[in-house]
Amino acid sequence: MPPTDPTRGIATTNDRPVYVIGGGPGGLAAAAALRTRGVRAVVLERSDRVGASWRAHYDRLHLHTTRALSSLPGLRMPRSFGRWVSRDDVVRYLEKYVEHHELEIVTGVEVHRIERAERTPGETAWLLHASGGRELTGSAVVVATGHNHTPNLPDWPHSSAYRGELLHASAYRNPAPYRDRDVLVVGVGNTGAEIAADLADGGASRVRLAVRTPPYIVRRSTAGWPAQRTGILVRRLPVPLVDRAGDLVCRVSVPDLSAQGLPRPSHGLYSRVKQGAIPVQDVGLVAAVRAGRVEPVAALDSFDEDSGDAVLADGTRLAPDAIIAATGYRRALEPLVGHLGVLDADGRPTVHGARTSPEAPALHFTGFTNPISGMFREMALDAERIARALARPAKRR
C-alpha cells in the first residue's frame, strides 16, 4: 500500500472526522466499524505502512488464537491461512483489510499530544498535535497505539559492563545469528518462551531462560479444543472458581517441570490473568525443557561491574554470548494523554472500548489489555462498541 501524503486532505478539511491513532489491528478495526456506520474515520500511522508492529515481530510467531476467532469486523481471515495464523499472513490480512474497507490511512504522521479543542457549547472536539507541526481537529479520537508500543529494557545495574550482545526481544527475528552461541533469554512470558524454544531448535549451543515468577503453562489446544475458547467461557466466572479449575487442568495436561528448574506456579491462574499475566501457551517450550535444550535459571538481577558477568537472583554468575530481554513493553501514553486524567498509576487507560472518562468524552482506547479470550477478538468487539457509541447523534453522546 503506497503511503498517503500526510498534508493532503487533513490539515485543510473543514469537517471533523474521528481520528484513529495507530494503524494496527485495533485501529483498523475501529476505522472499519465507524465507516460501516457512515462515520468518517481517518487513521494516523506513524510508520510508512499499516501493521508496523506485526511486521517487526520474530519470524516464527503465529497467533495463539484461532483464525476463526481472530477476524476483524467485516472481513474473515481466509481458510488458507490455517488454524494458527502466521505473522506474515497477519500482515497480508491487515493490508487486505484496508483495501476491502477502503479505509482512509495517513502514514508518516505521529501524534504527540491530544488536547480539548474549543467548540460551540454542547459539542466535543479534540485537537491533535502531530509531527511536522500539524494541528488536527476531530470530533472524537480513538487511541489504538497498542499494548506493545515501546520496548521495555530494564536498567540492570552495571549493564554497560556486559561484554556480549544485549538486545530487547523486539529486535530478535530468528535463531540464525545465534547458532553455536550461548544465549540467555530473560523473561518467561509467551515471547520469551517461544524465543527460547526457537533458539534451541535453531542450533544455539546453549539456551538458558531466566525466570523470576514461574508461569502457568497451558496447551494451545487439547483434542482440538483451543485454550482460547476456554478463556472465553470462563472470563466472567468467579476468579476463585477459575483458579481451582485452571490449576487442575494445568496439572493434568502439562508435565511437572520442577526437576528441570521450572516449578509449578502458585497464586491461581486467573488471579494472575487479572493482574496482567497471561498463561504461556506451549509451542515447544515444555519439550525443550524436558530434553534439557532449554535450561530454566533464576532471574537476572544485575551485572558484575568488573567482569561484566550476568548475576542471577540466586548469586549464580553467567557469561553468555548474548542476552535477549523478553521483558515486555511500555504503553507510553503519558506524553499523549497523561495530562487528561485518563490513565491509572501504571499508565494504563482507566476505561477502554465504548466507555469514556467523564473528563474526556469521545476519547476512546482500544488494544491496551491482554485478555485471556484473545486480543484480536476483544479488539473486534471494542471496535463495534466504539462505532455504535460514536455513530449516535451528538446530543445523545
Looking at the predicted structure, is the pLDDT value of residue 282 above 90?
yes
Residue 123 has pLDDT above 80, yes or no: no
Give strand pairing partners of 206. Answer: 182
Mean pLDDT of the chain: 91
- Using pLDDT thresholds of 50, 70 and 90, give the confidence band for residue 146: confident
Does residue 395 carry a pLDDT above 70? no
Angle, alpha carbons 252-189-348 (nearest 5°): 120
Longest pairwise C-alpha distance within the chain: 68
At 216-240, the pLDDT tens digits run 999 998 888 898 999 898 888 999 9
Q: Which residue has the cell 483489510?
A: 97
Among 328, 356, 384, the domain boundary falls at 328
How confident is the model at residue 45, as a pLDDT? 97
Task: Provide the percentage of residues in the chain whose pLDDT is more than 90.
Answer: 78
Single-letter residue type at 232: I
Angle at 57 between CA 55 and CA 275, to 5 degrees: 125
Of the three residues 312, 328, 344, the one that is the final residue of a domain is 328
Please state, for a pLDDT cut of 70, what percent of the chain lies above it.
94
Q: Are residues 157 and 134 in the same domain?
A: no
Give the pLDDT of residue 359: 87
CA atoms within 13 A on the CB side of 284: 18
Per-residue confidence at 392, pLDDT binned at 50, 70, 90?
Answer: confident
Sheet of 310-312, strand order: 300-303, 310-312, 317-318
| In a domain? residue 51 | yes
Secondary structure class of 199 (helix, strand, coil): helix
Going by C-beta distance under 8 Å and a sequence separation of 6 or more, which residues neighbour residue 186?
192, 210, 299, 300, 323, 324, 325, 326, 327
User: What's the one-letter identity of residue 132?
Assistant: G
Domain that holds residue 388: 18-149+331-396
- Between CA 201 and CA 186 the distance in angstroms is 18
Whether residues 323 and 180 fall in one domain: yes
pLDDT tens digits, 25-41: 999 999 999 999 999 99
pLDDT at 267: 80
**Domain end marker among 286, 306, 328:** 328
Q: Given this model, what pLDDT does residue 224 score? A: 87
Q: Could you give the 3-state DSSP secondary structure of residue 104?
A: strand
Using the CB atoms, write b or e for 296-315: b if 16+ within 10 Å. bbbebbebeeeeebbbbeee
Residue in this structure with the C-alpha cell 473528563, named with its chain if needed: 359
The burial class, CB within 10 Å (0-12 / 13-18 / 19+), for 321 is middle
Helix 25-36 vs helix 375-391: crossing angle, to nearest 10 = 30
pLDDT digits (tens, 9 = 90+) for 62-115: 999 999 999 999 999 999 999 999 999 999 999 999 999 999 999 999 999 999
Q: What's the alpha-carbon Rg for the chain, to the nearest Å? A: 22
- What total of structural domains would you count in the chain? 2
Q: If you average pLDDT over residues 296-315, what whole number do you get? A: 98
- Per-residue pLDDT tens digits for 328-363: 999 999 999 999 999 999 899 999 999 999 989 999
In whole angstroms, give the CA distance from residue 1 to residue 60. Answer: 24
Per residue in 235-276, pLDDT (tens digit) is 889 999 999 988 888 888 899 999 999 999 888 888 988 887
Q: Are residues 36 and 125 in the same domain?
A: yes
Residues 320 and 194 in one domain: yes
Q: Are residues 265 and 178 in the same domain?
A: yes
Sign of CA dihedral 214, 274, 380, 390: negative
What is residue 370's predicted lDDT score, i.e. its pLDDT? Answer: 81
pTM across the whole model:
0.90
Please tell me whether residues 182 and 113 are part of one structural domain: no
Residue 350 maps to a domain: yes
What's the confidence (pLDDT) of residue 393? 56
Mean pLDDT of 380-394: 88
Where helices occur in the chain by DSSP H, the ranges are 25-36, 52-55, 87-101, 190-201, 227-234, 239-253, 269-274, 285-290, 334-337, 375-391
Residue 250 and residue 314 in one domain: yes
Average pLDDT in the 297-305 region?
98
